[in-house]
Structure 1
Amino acid sequence: MSGEVAVLGAGMHPWGKWGHSFVEYGTRAARAALADAGLAWGDIGSVVGADTVRGGYPGYVAGATFARALGWQGARVTSVYAACASGAQAIGTARAQILAGLADVVLVVGADAAPKGFFKPAGGDRPEDPDWLRFRLLGATNPAYFGLYARHRMAVHGDTREDFARVKVKNAAAGALNPYARYRKPVTEEEVAASAVVADPLRLLDICATSDGGAALVLSSMDFARRHAAEGPLVRIRAVSTVSPSYPNTVLDLPDVATDSAAAVPPQDRGFRASIAHAAYEEAGLGPGDMSLAEVYDLSTALELQWYEDLGLAAPGAGAGLLREGATALGGRIPVNASGGLASFGEAVPAQAIAQVCELAWQLRGRAGERQVAGARAGVTANQGLFGHGSSVVAVR
């Protein structure tokens, strides 16, 4: 397809709390991606950095920051910010440059050195931002928001605390197999239930941590890839969706809107997150039934269940049923968060959407080790940032 670009290399810096600059994490991930692609830094024609607003001025100009850290060599630089969707928008920017003929090979990098505890709003007062209003007028921090989401699912769909715990157990089991994950220890439902209550009904182990980490991709034109790619399956990015809400449905999180992401439904007839996935499927010419795996934004265990429905993997209200039957676990029909998800990594904001695509690349190449999804042919990611930023990427082999 004419809109495809190749993923030549993927690299990461392990997630954790390392106490170093985001620049170190990003450059190490970048070098790993270059090595994976079998290319030298001088082969890169453009660098797209996903910004981190907590990194000071270097974080605001991440593209230039990473280019300088790797060594000035004349590459084009671009910096992108979209909160938690920054990485996917950086991928979209890189793809646009390649398809426009501005560069044959582009390096995409995101990294963060996150503070402990809740993320506070960045950039001063934003009275037109619904998220800022939620923080300031309602006092609803993210965990409180996640708790309301969980309560909604319990009231409307019959989800239980045990269902939420099962999500954590599933993701921890996958994360235990991932050398880049911060938390590499299986947990039990009993351990989730025994952890401290944070925002009822969610407990500490239902909510992701904040982390340091980095991720990078080397993308290229299909012509370049055919000339230079190593032997083995060639992974292609077929779609990048970064849509915004559509008037009159401007509620950013409408959890009970019917979803059929493979159908051509006007955007205003579906919730925002479902629209993110719908746009990616439509561009890719694929639907949820074509996916071998999904990487989703599991800020909380309850939110992962919602993504099953928004991605069209389950009917509205049926996400917990999909989980209960084991379909979303490793070895299941449609593994979700085979990487371990944010439950195992924590949030390193500019890196996480890139890390999701790294996981798709390794899975589609058949190089994911013990967590390999058998016969993986296509995968989808989903991520959401503040104030209407969202993203979904579809990759195929």
Structure 2
Amino acid sequence: MTGDVAVLGAGMHPWGKWGRSFVEYGTAAARAALADAGIGWRDVQSVVGADTVRGGYPGYVAGATFAKALGWQGARVTSVYAACASGAQAIATARAQILAGLADVVLVVGADAAPKGFFRPAGGDRPDDPDWLRFRVLGATNPTYFGLYARRRMAVHGDTLEDFAQVKVKNAACGALNPHARYRTAVSAEEVAASAVVADPLRLLDICATSDGGASLVLSSMEFARRHGATDPVRIRAVSTVTPTYPNTVLDLPDIATDSAAGVEPDGASFRSSIARAAYEEAGIGPEELSLAEVYDLSTALELQWYEDLGLCAEGAAAKLLREGATAPGGRIPVNVSGGLASFGEAVPAQAIAQVCELTWQLRGTAGARQVTGARVGITANQGLFGHGSSVVAVR
């Protein structure tokens, strides 16, 4: 049995700060995806919702929430949570249902209404969660983490502030062409350098914002797609949702259960490279076959790291790849032609779905002014708290 499923429809609610319920954003995105697919809501046999922890109880049962908002019609519902990887896990769940023969048509929806400023840890105390420990023991908020990562790249690979700024310049130029993006204004390197320091060496314009927004996909079996008249649809070829293989660390802290015997030797690969490797292996492709990539640019320095972890260049060569223009539109391997999180901000359950929406439009050749010429294969890369990784490979 082939592992491909068809992407019949893609839809989004524009990102921004709209001050309304996540349900409204997700419902609008779902209706746009259904219209794009040319099918009715009653044709949908399953709904998979990516959960938001900020939407109260409806956010924890997002599949049922969106099914109710669209009008209960008997579809099965599933709700998934994987922090920033929630959207990819929702896609993986929908794909599994289709390949198992449980449904021919599945609607995937994610949406969020984000608070201003830092995301506060949700779910109470989590002393077994390394991210919670980072917040509480180190006092390292996400921008602090990003800053430390940037400093490491500067020390190990020689990246510069100018390199980081050029990532923002590139992504802002792409975002200016995207009607769904929150920020649609080009930015200069001088403006990045002049923005406020948030977590040295990163400036305000090096770090993504928090946003409201929604994204949705209509996925189907290849047989249904052909019956529906879609003879050459975009296809999801692989979904990777792997966890890290780092060794466990024994910590001398109270109330933390550790087991040094459970530790494993590191294999030399980072978590992010493991995410990509699993996607490549399942899809049966290598990075040299990619037409474009959509990656999780929480900060400019982290986008550079993805270049290496996706195998777009050798370790330490990301800044060189950027300087050569290889990751810009028209380059060898354009990255974040959507504008990335730099232009959208984080709407957590929606962002991994939004990445696949962009791949869909690019592979169809309908991305307008930001179209990558001749795009045939695309990859997404994302990660969430508590060891959630995700990558999706789409082809045409």
Asked if these proteins are the same fold (TM beyond 0.5), I'd say yes
Cα 1:88–1:115 change in 2 (3 A) is: same
- Partners of 2:230 and 2:222 lie apart in 1 by 13
Shift of 1:276: 0.3
The Cα shift of 1:267 comes to 8.1
Q: Please give the alpha-carbon distance, in whole angstroms, between the structure 2 residues aligned to 1:152 and 1:24.
A: 41
Cα deviation 1:173-202 (Å, max 9, x = unaligned): 000000000000000000000000000000
SS at match of 2:55: helix
Paired residue secondary structure (1:8): strand
Describe the shift of the 1:342–1:229 C-alpha distance in structure 2 as closer, same or farther (beyond 3 A). Answer: farther
TM-score norm. by structure 2 comes to 0.95
1:1-397 alignment, distance < 5 Å: 2-230=2-230, 233-246=232-245, 248=247, 268-397=267-396
Give the TM-score of the pair, scaled to structure 1: 0.95
8 Å Cα contact 1:249/1:271 also seen in 2: no
Distance 1:229 1:300, change over 3 A: farther
- Where 1:109 maps in the other structure, the secondary structure is strand
1:230 CA drift (Å)? 4.2
Matched to 1:364, the amino acid is: L
Code of the aligned partner of 1:220: S
Distance in 1 (CA, whole Å) between partners of 2:208 and 2:56 is 24
Whole-angstrom CA distance in 2 between matches of 1:269 and 1:168: 30
The question of whether the paired residues in 2 share the 8 Å contact of 1:88 and 1:353 is answered with: yes
Q: What SS is found at the alignment partner of 1:7?
A: strand
Change over 3 Å in CA distance of 1:80–1:370 after alignment to 2: same
Q: Is the 8 A contact 2:247 2:266 kept in 1?
A: no
Q: Distance in 2 between matches of 1:321 and 1:246?
A: 29
Q: Percent identity?
A: 86
1:248 deviates by 3.1
Relative to structure 2, which stretch is displaced further, 239-248 or 163-172? 239-248
C-alpha displacement of 1:268 = 3.2
Equivalent residue for 1:261?
none
Task: Tell me if structure 1 keeps the 8 A contact 2:98–2:104.
Answer: yes
Matched letter for residue 167 of structure 1? V
Whole-Å Cα distance in 2 between the matches of residues 170 and 155 of structure 1? 24
Give how far 1:234 is off.
1.1
Partner amino acid, structure 1, of 2:129:
D
Contact 1:17 / 1:211 at 8 angstroms: preserved in 2? yes
CA distance in 1: counterparts of 2:22 and 2:313, whole angstroms = 37
Q: Shift of the alpha carbon at 1:247?
A: 5.2
Show the counterpart of 1:263: none
How far off its partner does 1:355 sit? 0.1
Q: Which residue of 1 aligns with 2:261?
A: none
**Structure 1's 57 and 151: CA in aligned 2 closer, same or farther, altered over 3 A?**
same
Change in Cα spacing, 1:250 to 1:364, as seen in structure 2 (3 Å) is: farther
Secondary structure of the corresponding residue to residue 179 of structure 2: coil
1:262 corresponds in structure 2 to none
The amino acid across from 1:394 in the alignment is V
The Cα shift of 1:226 comes to 1.0
Q: Can you list the C-alpha shifts for 1:309-364, whole angstroms capped at 9, x where unaligned?
A: 00000110001110000000111110000000000000000000000000000000
Bigger Cα displacement from structure 2, 47-56 vs 269-278 = 269-278
Task: Work out the CA distance in 2 between the residues paired with 1:342 and 1:308.
Answer: 16
Q: Secondary structure at the match of 2:48?
A: strand
Structural RMSD (CA): 1.3
User: For residue 256 of structure 1, what is the aligned residue in structure 2?
Assistant: none
Give secondary structure in 2 for the equivalent of 1:269. Answer: coil
Distance 2:350 2:183 in 1: 17
1:229 offset after TM fit, Å? 3.8
